[in-house]
Chain A
Amino acid sequence: MTKEECKQVVLEIIEEIAPDEDLEGLSHDVRLRDQLDLDSMDFLDIVMELRKKHGIEVPEEDYPQLASLDSCAEYLTPKFNAVKAGA
């Protein structure tokens, strides 16, 4: 999985969690919470969906890594690839 593909997966999850938000034109290097109406429960939803749909665990101390799309891609892409390799 490439980082761009990883961002797409994260965007699909956000689209489901925050269906009223317009995800067009999001800046990839800016905190998601600064661009979207997302609260702490929404972030937990992202963590839960990563676990449920993709078998990826994000420990609590790593939650800051999910701040922006760029940081998500940086942090999650190796995890996606590890899960894929493990499968």
Chain B
Amino acid sequence: MSKDTDAQRIVITGCGLTSPLGDDVATMRAALLRGEARIENIEMRHMGTVHAGVCHFDARRWQGRRELRNGTRAGSVAIYCAREAVADSGIDWDSVEKPRVGVYLGITEHGNVETENEIHNISQFEYDTRYWTHHHNPRTVANNPAGEVTLNMGITGPHYTIGAACAAGNAGIIQALWMLRLGEVDLALAGGVSESIHTFGIFAGFKSQGALAHHEDPNKASRPFDKGRNGIVVSEGGAIYTMERLTDARARGAKIYCEVVGYHINSDAVDAVLPNAERQTQCMGAALAKAGLTPADVDIVNTHATSTPQGDIQECKAVRTVFPADACPRTRVNNTKSYIGHAMGAAGALELAGNLPSFNDGLVHPTINVDELDPECDTGNLVLNEPAEAGEVRVILNNSFGMLGINSSLVVKKFAD
């Protein structure tokens, strides 16, 4: 990577997010360092009370009421994040060439919310499909959240979503990296979004699978690596970055959050839902190889661990293999889902946003809710319950894995000339 020209070096220059912990990087980061989870109990159609990570961003900030009425929650999350990212980047939006902007958003799923709502709607009319809304198709096409961003912002370059289960947030960023390197676009709005808490099917599916978290205290329900973990807390959220070639970022004197230096996506090819440590190991290794880095160079490994009994063990096994504590004294391992639950398609991008401030503050946010560490999850370098002072943080590896055996690892580096 160091041999690449500056036009092939891709940097992140702005971030817009919404999360259960707040709606900007600084607010989210402060809660992560305070060790504060924010999970709510919500009422779910057909199911009763469930735990969920809920976002409370001001959708009216960037959308009219009619736009909100006609669009989707995923679209609204995406518009908020995209607009906030552009604002954060300091780009003079009016002077941006809109045909040269690409929107690449990772999604775990899309359309469940609207389909469930419409089936509920026509159930009130004896399932007469004359009452099925004409908004159904534009709301449920898979490109919907990215398309809503282009409509809202007047972007005429390419837009699409990347369906990659819960690896999607990273996949969106990786897609943008490719398109910028290919010269297809000059500015990318990329990341991931999720509206999944508005569909009972996701919750019911995890429950039937024995993978839905439950705890007396919702804030303790998502507890990766803890012996008492019993499943996933489903969350909504989004994180979208402005990404540019280093040459362009330099030319406008942009603030640079980080450089995206390595990535990899691979497939387990063994099981639809059970993760596979061997492929995860290969994925992390390949991402580091592309970055021209060794495991010992990595300061933070932000795990995907979702608080399921089996999944966490598999990932920790992979992390121990790639980053043995004795050979990687700088490396620290953490997890963000213990605070916000699993933001599905947004998870990779959103969890990265929670860790990027480490490049400036030198701290590693902890994994919380670990009352009794599961020995099978002990990687030897977990940051548990209290932030760790790392000194200088230079490299973060961000894992995001998903169903059907998709693995993604992203490597970002503190920017240095």
Contact = CB atoms under 8 A, between A and B. Distances in A.
A52 B128 CA distance: 11
Nearest to A47: B134
B66 A19 contact: yes
B131 A52 contact: yes
A18 B66 contact: yes
Contacts of A1: none
Nearest to A38: B66
Nearest to A18: B66
Nearest to A44: B134
Contact of B64 (A17, A20, A41, A48): A20
B66 A48 contact: no
Contacts of B125: 52
Contacts of B131: 48, 51-52
Nearest to A57: B130
B63 to A, nearest CB: 10
Main secondary structure of the interface of A (DSSP, over half): helix
A41 B70 contact: yes
Contacts of B156: none
The B interface, classified by DSSP as helix, strand, loop or mixed, is helix
Contacts, number: 25
A26 to B, nearest CB: 17
Given A17-B66, A19-B69, A20-B65, A41 B134 contact: yes
A48 B70 CA distance: 14
A52 B125 CA distance: 9
B135 interface: yes
A41 B71 CA distance: 12
Interface string A1-41: 00000000000000001111100000000000000010001
Contacts of B65: 19-20
Contact of A48 (B69, B134, B138): B134
Nearest to B132: A48
A9 B131 CA distance: 19
Contacts of B70: 41
Contacts of A44: 134
A69 to B, nearest CB: 19
A56 B125 CA distance: 14
Interface string B46-74: 00000000000000000011100110000
A42 B125 CA distance: 21
Closest 6 CB pairs between A and B? A19-B65, A20-B64, A44-B134, A20-B65, A20-B66, A18-B66
Given A17-B66, A48-B131, A52-B125, 15 more contacts: A17-B69, A18-B66, A19-B69, A20-B64, A20-B65, A20-B66, A37-B66, A41-B70, A41-B134, A42-B66, A44-B134, A45-B134, A48-B134, A51-B130, A51-B131
